[in-house]
Amino acid sequence: MATSNRANAAKKTPQTNTSANSRAQAKHSNKTGSKPKDAIAILRADHSLVSGLFAEYEKTRSVSKKKTLVSKICTELSVHAQVEEEIFYPAVKAALRDKELVPEATVEHATLKDLISQVEGIEPDGEMFDAKIKVMAEYVKHHVKEEQNEMFPKAKSTKLDMVDLGERILARKDELKPEMGLPKENPKVSGSMKEGAALTT
């Protein structure tokens, strides 16, 4: 089910949702008392969240908990990869005139998506499943290290407006997360999507 949700979500490009994006952006910027988050802070927070989920997986023996964790890892990673590919990577590629970092990261995302497809919706059934999650965790760690140690510092050195990029990333995540069965990034934003509204109450 998550896969079909994802496929549906992937069909919608940000360009086709400009009015929804604008609405969500306006709501984010209207939040009172909260400091706007920049794109790098948002992406780093995602990295930490997923790393924590992998650590929890390693500790647990419960098959049902493993299943819940894998489902969350797959969905979080998919939303994260999608907003990077749609919003962050193109901006960084253009600002840096990059021909290496972004293409490599995009190829790594493709490998990650393949690993996700091997475990998503599958019953955790022993050592081979655990091995796949371990390989996925190691692969994500490697990918995150390259983003945080190379891509992010270079992106910061450009004139890119990281707060604006952050607003766009949050708005897109608010669209994608309910479609993939996760609560919205900002629960205070009440959208018209029934599923999302139900998840945030």
Report the interface residues with Fe ion, using CB under 5 A: 43, 84, 147
Nearer Cβ to Fe ion (82/196): 82
Nearest CA to 79 among 182, 166, 194?
A: 182
Query: Which lies closer to Fe ion via its Cβ, residue 129 or residue 152?
Result: 152
Please report how close the Cβ of residue 70 comes to Fe ion at its closest, in angstroms. Answer: 19
We find the least distance from the C-beta atom of residue 128 to Fe ion, in angstroms, to be: 26
Residue 71: closest CA among 3, 125, 139, 138: 3
Nearer to Fe ion, 31 or 156 (CB): 156
Are 105 and 67 in contact by the 8 Å Cβ rule? The answer is no
Contact criterion met (CB below 8 Å) for 178 and 196: yes
Task: CB nearer to Fe ion: give 84 or 120.
Answer: 84
Task: Write down the least CB distance from residue 126 to Fe ion, Å.
Answer: 29
Shortest distance in whole angstroms from residue 154 CB to Fe ion = 14
- C-alpha to C-alpha distances, 121 to 12, 55, 113, 157, nearest whole angstrom: 23, 20, 14, 41
CB of 48 to Fe ion, least distance (A): 11
126: alpha, beta or left? (left if phi > 0; alpha if psi -120 to 50): left
Burial of 180 (0-12, 13-18, 19+ CB in 10 A): buried
Given the complex with Fe ion, which of 14 and 199 has the nearer CB atom?
14
Given a contact cutoff of 8 angstroms between Cβ atoms, the answer to whether 200 and 184 are in contact is yes
